[in-house]
Amino acid sequence: MKIAMIGTGYVGLVSGVCFSDFGHDVVCVDKDPAKIEKLERGEVPIFEPGLEDLMARNVAAGRLSFTLDLAEALEGADTVFIAVGTPTRRGDGHADLTYVMAAAEESARTAKKYVVIVTKSTVPVGTNRKVHDVVAKANPDLEFDVASNPEFLREGAAIDDFMRPDRVVVGVQSDRAAKVMADVYRPLFLRDFPIVTTDLESAEMIKYAANAFLATKITFINEIAALCEKTGGDVKEVSRGMGLDGRIGNKFLHAGPGYGGSCFPKDTSALARIGQEYASPMLITEAVIKVNEDIKRRMIEKLRDLCDGNFNGKTVAILGVTFKPNTDDMRDAPSLTIVPALVGSGANVRVVDPQGRQEGEALLPSVTWVEDPYEAAKDADLIVVLTEWNEFRALDLGRISSEMRTAHMADLRNIYASADALSSGFERYDSIGR
């Protein structure tokens, strides 16, 4: 099959590369000349393990190409996937559909034959029917179908998620569109991965409901962690005991400084807004959003306590600023709440992150970027594990504590044991829920 992929951001690029690895002929199109030039040189503009090699292999095989010309991408295409951004609109929590609708309209004006226009971007319930109306109005003579195909990719594990998915969700209105989408995903169907074919609204809702539920699990265990700190419980043991229940499961039960990233903040906000619009309030989701912000602020107070109540003049080493390891994404990361609070209170902040510096330099002004944790810890008053990169999991704690001015550690990802930290020379050690 021939596939046109509109948008070469995280979702579009990963999806396009993986579709080409299925054996499809994929053309990725973007309006950004610099991005297309970079891709044509074989450079990946995002950090995702394994993506650069997979892209190079499929370009070499002639199945994957990049262009600025939508007409070129759509020539002979069976499907056109819209994978553009849907950021949260300022002021009202809505997902901004400007780019989605523009891509749909331009595709309609460009297409010459029957095509399935597939929304890969995360969009509110009802959007795909609006896409249908936009396409029909832009080109009344075009024969087409609209499909919803939400993505479920974890940054840092996106290729495996695409190639070995828990499920693929496809929303369609016609048998013809269902057949085309079945052909697109035939390699997964042949390997018995579940393909859920449903209506447009259900497909759209599945995406929001799934992300809101996962955000709820994270927020719930973070609230339990706060209670454990008051009662003397150990949230890691609580999480383990809960997770062994098959009805609950152990995923997303890891206490930390709050969720961030490209999906959970945006999608929970959008779902809450959808509920308000339809007079069916998403009260749990609204509470999750509020509690998650409260958790980030609670982390600041935890750090303040470790600095004896005052950040002014203190040197704080921050290990990790991306919202999770194995990504360069800093969208809504806890660091964007915590680090500015430290700087604003007079702290001298040093930051180490294997991939976060390029984006972080603009988002976190007035910090000092250093290359390794030992350099960051030298003469510091506090060291903070904020993102659980593998590089931070086996540090020489004795070396770090001996080089600090005040050997205090805040382990906000619970990757060390209190006994190990204290026996390695740390005077004070604090974590989450222990």
Choosing from 18, 28, 228, 263, the catalytic residue is 263
Identify residue 222 by its one-letter amino acid code: N
SS (H, E, C) 75-105: CCCCEEEECCCCCECCCCCCECCHHHHHHHH
CA distance 394 to 221: 25
CA distance 393 to 395: 6
Contact 261, 220 (CB under 8 A): no
CA distance 368 to 154: 29
Strand order in the sheet with 144-148: 64-67, 25-29, 2-6, 79-82, 115-119, 144-148, 168-171, 195-198
Indicate the pairing of strand 115-119 with strand 2-6: unpaired
Residue 263 falls in the annotated catalytic set: yes
CA distance 105 to 409: 54
390 secondary structure, DSSP code: G
How many CB atoms are located within 10 Å of the residue 53 CB? 11
E-strand stretches of 93-249: 115-119, 144-148, 168-171, 195-198
Q: Active-site residue numbers?
A: 263
